[in-house]
């Protein structure tokens, strides 16, 4: 049985070529940055035939768009951790941990994140993709806020969709600042401060 996984040899080869191109893309983007990287270089790095990259990806923006999914995967995992606190103290501790892990996950991919920052500015495709990723993060936060509002722990006057957006942006931008070396604060201290403002702001009966 050659096709035990349901893919023909040709399909398997195509998948392998695709992965090679993505891997080569990562190497080239890290080396050149987003703007300077070219499909020709990526092709060469992947040892695929001339023009092969264009069979798999419309342009470098699309190729980078696929790489983004991997870059933010761990950040997204952190954001998707189960969140069902019983008290506002518990919520504070969980949120503090989430902020720290979210920024840490970005720092673990520091070099690719820098390329991402550059790409968001210059590529509409990458910007659009980033905007989708943000929407996913914000949707997760809305879910968490709704949970604590329904549990009677959080202020119901507050509109979850607006606060989720504001809270996400606070985290994202501080993450960029730390990543680009503009904020030298200790990660624990950053997480503590942001989580404190947020939980005190959102939760009822805060100390």
The contact set with its own copies (CB under 8 A) reads 120-122, 127, 131, 155, 157-159, 162-163, 165-167, 169-170, 172-174, 177, 182-183, 185, 189-190, 193-194, 196-202, 206
Nearest distance, CB of residue 131 and its own copies, angstroms = 8
Q: Compute the half-sphere exposure of residue 190: CA atoms within 13 Å on the CB side of its CA.
A: 22
Nearer residue to its own copies within complex by CB, 82 or 181: 181
* Phi and psi torsions of 154, nearest 5°: -120, 150
- Here the tokens at position 166 are 């504001």
Measured from the CB of residue 10, what is the shortest distance to its own copies in angstroms? Answer: 40
Least Å from the CB of residue 74 to its own copies: 22
Give least dist CB 144 to its own copies, A. 14
3-state secondary structure of 35: helix
As a three-state string, the secondary structure of 132-191 is HHHHHHHHHHHHHHHHHHHCCCECCCCCHHHHHHHHHHHHHHHHHHHHCCCCCCCHHHHH
Identify the three-state secondary structure at position 2: coil
Residue number, 24 or 191, with CB nearest to its own copies: 191
Kindly tell me the burial class for residue 15, based on how many C-beta atoms sit within 10 Å of its own C-beta (0-12, 13-18, 19 or more).
exposed
Q: Closer to its own copies by CB, 5 or 124: give it.
A: 124
Closer Cβ to its own copies, 16 or 87, answer by number: 87
User: Least CB distance from residue 158 to its own copies, whole Å?
Assistant: 6
Two structure tokens written together for 30: 């890290």
- CB of residue 122 to its own copies, shortest distance in Å: 5
Nearer to its own copies, 4 or 182 (CB): 182
CB nearer its own copies, residue 48 or residue 171 = 171
């Amino acid at each position: 049985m050659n096709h035990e996984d349901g893919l023909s040899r040709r399909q398997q080869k195509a998948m392998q070529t695709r992965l090679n191109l993505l891997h080569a893309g990562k190497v080239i983007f890290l080396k050149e940055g987003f703007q300077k990287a070219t499909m020709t270089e990526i092709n060469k790095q992947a040892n695929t035939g001339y023009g092969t990259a264009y069979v798999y990806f419309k342009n470098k923006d699309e190729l980078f768009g696929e790489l983004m999914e991997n870059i933010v995967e761990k950040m997204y995992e952190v954001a998707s951790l189960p969140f069902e606190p019983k008290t506002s103290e518990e919520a504070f501790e969980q949120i503090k941990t989430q902020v720290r892990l979210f920024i840490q996950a970005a720092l673990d991919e520091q070099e690719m994140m820098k390329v991402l920052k550059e790409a968001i500015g210059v590529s509409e495709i990458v910007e659009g993709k980033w905007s989708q990723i943000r929407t996913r993060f914000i949707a997760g936060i809305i879910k968490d806020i709704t949970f604590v509002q329904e549990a009677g722990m959080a202020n119901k006057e507050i509109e979850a969709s607006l606060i989720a957006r504001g809270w996400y942006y606070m985290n994202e931008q501080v993450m960029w600042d730390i990543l680009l070396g503009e904020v030298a604060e200790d990660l624990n201290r950053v997480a503590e401060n942001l989580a404190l403002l947020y939980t005190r702001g959102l939760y009822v009966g805060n100390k």
